Amino acid sequence: MAPNQKATALDSFVDPSAPICYGILKPGEHVSDGIPVIKVKNIIGGRILEDDLLRTSPQIHNQYKRAEVNQGDLLLTIRGTTGRVAIVPPSLSGANITQDTARIRVSSDDDPLYVFYALQSPSVQRQIDLNTVGQAVKGINIAEVRKLKIFHPADTEQKKIAQILSTWDKAITTTEQLLANSQQQKKALMQQLLTGKKRLLDENGVRFGGEWREVSLSTICQINPKKSPAPEDGKVSFIAMECVSEDAKLLSSSVREYDEVSKGFTSFADDDVLVAKITPCFENGKGAYVERMRNGIGFGSTEFHVLRSGAKSDSKYLYYLTNTSEFRVRGEANMQGSAGQKRVTTDYLKSLKVTVPVKLSEQQKIASILSIADQEITAFQQKLGALKQEKKALMQQLLTGKRRVIV
């Protein structure tokens, strides 16, 4: 079918000599020097992860020779998790796929990169969702894949659209790398600063001296302190477990009546530190630094422990201390309870030995440096989110013909 300015079936983009097909039904055991087989789990974020590919025997591969992939072919997951898309790189030319994936070889009249983006567009993903059926294992059959409707401009316009979206992808990839670098740098800083391996300069530009002492956590902070009295207007903040992230950030909170939540929930206040107590939330890093609560008061999940700094500790320093891998690993090893209901106990936290700088000013300086690192990470996360949202909006415009490009 000749390209036009309307939506056509995906089949109209396909090389007639290589129809859309799925791959091997039973790839068998791993053969170390065999043919790579690409599974659904290997297709992540528009790429094929090559580190953990199953390899099948040449005999099995040859039985499904029709599904052999070439460089530039598109893969679409059609069973289990449907709708993931990837382009076959040169290193996997000659590989095969499983029955859970469809191979799409684009004709020479069309642009594979354009079809790659089109398959990821919200409109096509909706079509895939609507045609995905089944109970135990959901899937979309090849006949429905062939009928997926895609906007079909001329090849020159396809290339221009693909070029525009590729530019956004490069910006997203660059920002992802900067974010990963910042996260790694913060992790290294925490390992150095929270153990005393690296000492900072004080306000006079002199490196901090003085000792670090091993103390029980309960000697430098209150653990699960008493609740605050009701504020005049009776309004407080409420934080459920799902409102904190696995990198210990407060994602959201709601306003509730004090009388509604003051019994049966955990109480806390501004500048307190929340630590999830139950498995797997504790091991996964759930928690938060509490600030900007309504009237400075908050209540939340009964599965939170609360740490409140005292005269010998800085609240932000305590917060970063609870985010170290050592704190989480030791806590996990000392959980109590039955499987699935294990918890870090209050008694364990009270007796937990931590090594801290005696000078409060050194704790504050360490917390300040780590806060700056956090701000940089947050800025990259926000930029990344904005780029992805803008790309999605562009895809909705460019890949449906609502917005045309000048060739």
Quick one: CATH architecture of 211-357?
Alpha-Beta Complex (3.90)
Specify whether the CB–CB gap between 288 and 275 falls below 8 A: no
- Closest listed residue to residue 210, CA positions, set 200, 219, 218: 200
- Percent of the chain past pLDDT 90, that is, above it, reads 92
- Percent of the chain past pLDDT 70, that is, above it, reads 99
Q: With 50 as the cut, is the pLDDT of residue 1 above it?
A: no
pTM: 0.82
Same fold across 7-152 and 211-357: yes
pLDDT band at 213 (very low <50, low <70, confident <90, very high): very high
Please give the pLDDT value at position 402.
81
The residue-averaged pLDDT of 194-204 equals: 92
Quick one: CATH architecture of 154-207+359-407?
Orthogonal Bundle (1.10)
Please give the pLDDT value at position 5.
61
Span 278-329, pLDDT tens digits: 999 999 999 999 999 999 999 999 999 999 999 999 999 999 999 999 999 9
Q: How many Å apart are CA 138 and CA 79, to the nearest integer?
A: 6
Each domain of the chain, given as residue ranges in start order, spans 7-152, 154-207+359-407, 211-357
CB atoms within 10 A of CB 374: 20
Please give the pLDDT value at position 136.
84
The residue-averaged pLDDT of 183-189 equals: 96
Q: Which CATH number is associated with domain 7-152?
A: 3.90.220.20
Span 96-133, pLDDT tens digits: 999 999 999 999 999 999 999 999 999 999 999 999 99
How high does pLDDT run on average in the chain?
94
Q: How many Å apart are CA 256 and CA 254, to the nearest integer?
A: 6
- Closest listed residue to residue 146, CA positions, set 97, 86, 104, 83: 104
Q: How many Å apart are CA 142 and CA 158, to the nearest integer?
A: 24
Please give the pLDDT value at position 339.
78
CB atoms within 10 A of CB 45: 11
- Closest listed residue to residue 97, CA positions, set 24, 14, 21: 24
Beta strands in 282-352 (DSSP E): 287-289, 297-300, 304-309
